[in-house]
Amino acid sequence: MTNYVILGTGVAGIAAAQAVRAIDKQGKIIFVSNDPHWYYSRPGLAYYLAGEVEEKQLYPFGPAEYKALDAHFWQATVSKILPQEACVLLNDGKRLRYDRLLIAVGASAVHLSVPGAELQGVVKLDHMEDARQIVAQARRGRTVVVVGGGITALELAEGLAQRRLKVHLFIRTARYWSSVLDESESNIIQHRLKEDKITVHYETELAEILGRQGRVTGIRTGNGQQIGCDILAYAIGVQPRIQLAKEAGIACERGILADEHLRTNFPNIFAAGDVAQVQDPISGRSVIDSLWAPARDQGQVAGTNMAGKSRVYIKPVSFNVTRLAGITTTIIGNVGLGSGRDEDQVAIARGDSETWRTIPDAIIAQSGFDVNHLRLMVTGRNIVGAIVMGDQKLSAALQTLIRERIDISSIREQLLAPHAPIAEILAGFWSQVHDFRSRRPVASASAPTLRRVSSIG
């Protein structure tokens, strides 16, 4: 009987266990995690914070699903991974032997390093206990300062505003999420935040958290301004939990390096999810995603290979549907503006992908008004990235056009023309694509508007 040990109970670990159990009905699956809540929806924490869902709705598994896994769950902390002995050492001294090991421990929030960061009332949104703590403190709080410029910082600001707190949002740059959004998109977010009575402080840096009797009473900015508050919430990025792997001699860079089978440099040790750094076939770079869908897919591939089958993980086009200031926003592929990592983030943000910053010789075409906004990144023959804000009718079509690298040469000049009705052009083109596929399920290379190309540029 094969022993499968999975470190972490997030979506990557659960997906791996499901894949293992589909192949190996007899093997022993053991999860090890110090999180007492086991498997829950981490993306759903923002909705719980905003009061839109109850805590019980964050748990996708019931007794029947856990029974189908036929797995053992150990609440423990791993102190060492010992590859030469094929076991993990727990904090209580117990050794847990494995034949196959999956490291799916995810990423953790980067901590603030300013005076006062240890005060009660300083919070982050990293896991279930964080969310519970924030909700409890919000009941008796009146004013909160939120520090950060990515998705999670906005979720904190919006969630606490929904709970009727006065919210100040500190952003170190001149506009929101400048490495991913363009100026028009940032302005849309800014306008909506103002409508929600959230005060945004641009080009503002937190210098010190002030307190009395161990509790937060306010903050001081880099330019000396003081603001009173009961809560200081921060989201300045996440870092993959690679320390155990590094100490064990497992190859790491920013994350744990994994090949196309999600194997590490040890053949019986695999990595998946936010902790894994995998090859992007389009850019050729080794990247980290902090997204739910890739974590699930990586877990499925890792579990299949752990159970003895062979399956290759091909990193898909990065894709995320989120809400920014209440606006449904879809981000697909390479959409960055060449500014590199956002200065508000110490590391990659949760709900983010490093590939969003990649812009290989791209040209920007954009169109938008109010909250409906569409931006494309276009190369010679392809759309390589898109942001869709508000109206989502074209999101699915764009995902297909980008993922399959469908040749858009026939409409390229129309898209790039000044004041082009981009949505109309795309809708017409997609109608042709759809009709062609309906007539001929397998696309022919001779069809000029549907030709797929093997490289970008």
Q: Residue 158 has which token pair?
A: 């919006």
CA end-to-end span of the chain, whole Å?
50
CA–CA dist 395, 322 (Å, integer):
12
pLDDT at 363 over 60: no
Pull the structure tokens for residue 292: 């739910």
Q: What is the pLDDT of residue 37?
A: 94
Give the chain's radius of gyration (CA, Å): 23
DSSP 230-256: SEEEE---EEE--HHHHHTT--BSSSE
CA distance 36 to 54: 18
Q: What is the pLDDT of residues 36-78, one digit of tens each?
A: 999 999 999 999 999 999 999 999 999 999 999 999 999 999 9
Q: What are 273-317's pLDDT values in tens digits?
A: 999 999 877 667 788 988 899 999 999 999 999 999 999 999 888
Contact 269, 101 (CB under 8 A): yes
Match 């990293």 to its residue by tokens.
126
pLDDT in tens, 239-266: 999 999 999 999 999 999 999 999 999 9
pLDDT on residue 337: 63
Query: Which whole number is the average pLDDT over 144-173?
Result: 95
pTM of the predicted model over 0.85 = yes
Q: Give the whole-angstrom CA distance, residue 198 versus residue 190.
A: 9
Domains in the chain with CATH codes: 3-108+238-306 (3.50.50.60), 122-234 (3.50.50.60), 360-439 (3.30.390)
